[in-house]
Amino acid sequence: MVPAALATDPLRPQYHLLPAANWMNDPNGPIYWKGKYHMFYQYNPNGAYWGDMHWGHAVSPDMVHWEHLPVALAPTPGGPDAAGCFSGTAVIDGDQVAVLYTGVVSVPENEATIRDGEHSFRESQCLAISSDDDLTTWTKQPQPVIAAPPEGIDVSGFRDPSPWRQDDWCYMAVGSGIRGKGGAVLLYRSRDLQHWEYLHFLAQGTGNGKQTANPVDSGDMWECPDFFPLGDKHVLIHSAEGKSFWQVGTFDTERLLFHPERSGLLDDGSFYAPKTQLDANGNRILWGWIPETRPQNEYQTAGWAGMMSLPRVLTLDEKNNLKMVPHPALKQLRTRSEPKKSTSIKKCCGEVFCRLKTSAPIAFSIQGERGLGNVLHLEYHPDQPDKIQLAGAQLTLPNIPVELELHLFVDGSILEVFIQSQMAYTKRFYFSGLSAPDLSIHVTGEAADSSGLEIWQLTPISKDRLSR
Amino acid at 255: R
Rounded-to-integer distance, Cα 59 and Cα 64, Å? 10
Q: What is the mean pLDDT of residues 366-379?
A: 90
CB 364 within 8 A of CB 442: yes
Rounded-to-integer distance, Cα 258 and Cα 161, Å? 17
Greater pLDDT, 452 or 194: 194
Active site residue 26: yes
Amino acid at 240: A
pLDDT at 341 over 80: no
Give the CA distances from residue 44 to residues 24, 84, 129, 300, in Å, rounded to whole numbers and listed in that order: 7, 10, 22, 12
Helices and strands (H, E) in the chain, number of each type: 2, 35
- Around 203, how many Cα atoms within 13 Å sit in the side-chain half-sphere? 31
Domain 334-458: which topology?
A: Jelly Rolls (2.60.120)
Q: How far apart are the first and last CA of the chain?
A: 18
- The 10s digit of each residue's pLDDT in 206-242 is 999 999 999 999 999 999 999 999 999 999 999 999 9
Query: Please, which pLDDT band fits residue 118 given cuts at 50, 70 and 90?
Result: confident
Residues of the chain within CATH 2.60.120.560 domain(s) are 334-458
Give the CA distances from residue 208 to residues 148, 180, 181, 182, in Å, rounded to whole numbers and listed in that order: 26, 10, 9, 8
What is the pLDDT, as a whole number, of residue 13? Answer: 97
Q: What is the mean pLDDT of residues 10-21?
A: 97
What is the pLDDT, as a whole number, of residue 467? Answer: 80
> What is the full DSSP assignment across 318-365?
TT--EEEEE-GGGGGGEEEEPPTT--EEGGGEEEEEEEEETTS-EEEE
What is the pLDDT, as a whole number, of residue 175? Answer: 98
pLDDT at 338 over 70: no
The DSSP bridge partners found for residue 247 are 236, 263
What is the pLDDT, as a whole number, of residue 160? Answer: 98
Q: What is the pTM of this model?
A: 0.96
Query: Please, which pLDDT band fits residue 450 given cuts at 50, 70 and 90?
Result: low
- The 10s digit of each residue's pLDDT in 59-96 is 999 999 999 999 999 999 999 999 999 999 999 999 99
Three-class HEC string of 395-416: EECCCCCCEEEEEEEEECCEEE
pLDDT at 339 over 90: no
Phi, psi (rounded to 5 degrees) for 296: -60, -40
Q: What is the mean pLDDT of residues 341-360?
A: 90
What's the CATH architecture for 17-309? 5 Propeller (2.115)
Rounded-to-integer distance, Cα 217 and Cα 35, Å? 39
DSSP code of residue 447: B
What is the pLDDT, as a whole number, of residue 451? Answer: 66
- Among the listed residues 9, 26, 81, 411, the single catalytic one is 26
Least confident range of 139-143, 369-373, 425-429, 463-467: 369-373
Looking at every residue in the chain, the average pLDDT score rounds to: 95
CB 45 within 8 A of CB 60: no
Query: Please, which pLDDT band fits residue 1 given cuts at 50, 70 and 90?
Result: low
Residues of the chain within CATH 2.115.10.20 domain(s) are 17-309
Q: What is the mean pLDDT of residues 126-155?
A: 96
Q: What is the mean pLDDT of residues 425-440?
A: 95
